[in-house]
Structure 1
């Protein structure tokens, strides 16, 4: 159960950021954002690994944002993205 919460937190971070609409679905993997879970859930500073993963998954953010199960993590994810210097596109 705890791992699913972490997974959803990571995905939420992606939802917050938005991205280009033409994204290769094969490279979009919300589980890549697992290192950001603590930062999203606990409002702690994101790790360098978290920031790196956010940047690599940025093209998927709009796709993630459309997933209703991730919407509850959006506010925390926006803060983490801002802390990492990852731009949040509008979708």
Structure 2
């Protein structure tokens, strides 16, 4: 339980820190902080909430940019991220 809570806190902190690293051309629409509602599901692989799925669908066009970002790549390509995306009906592209 403590490990999951720590992972969640670390993930949230990274997401907040990385907001400034998103390319300026994508800043208006691509914001990894928008995925914070998915953090618990990404760390646990549990069935995502409606709010998480909504955010994933809104951010789907940004996934290639996130995959190309070395700080975000590990989260987008993780097995749990693929499970959550699949449960939400969102695909993670091979960029």
Q: Same fold (TM over 0.5)?
A: yes
1:6 aligns with 2:8: no
Equivalent pairs counted in the alignment come to: 78
Rate the CA distance shift 1:26–1:66 in 2: closer, same or farther, 3 A: same
Mind listing any 5+ residue stretches in structure 2 that lack a counterpart? 1-5, 16-24
Mind listing any 5+ residue stretches in structure 1 that lack a counterpart? 10-22
TM-score using structure 2 length: 0.70
Whose radius of gyration is greater, 1 or 2?
Answer: 2
Give the number of the structure with larger relative contact order, counting CA–CA contacts within 8 Å between residues 6 or more apart.
Answer: 1
Match of 2:58 among 56, 59, 79: 56
State the Cα RMSD in Å. 2.1
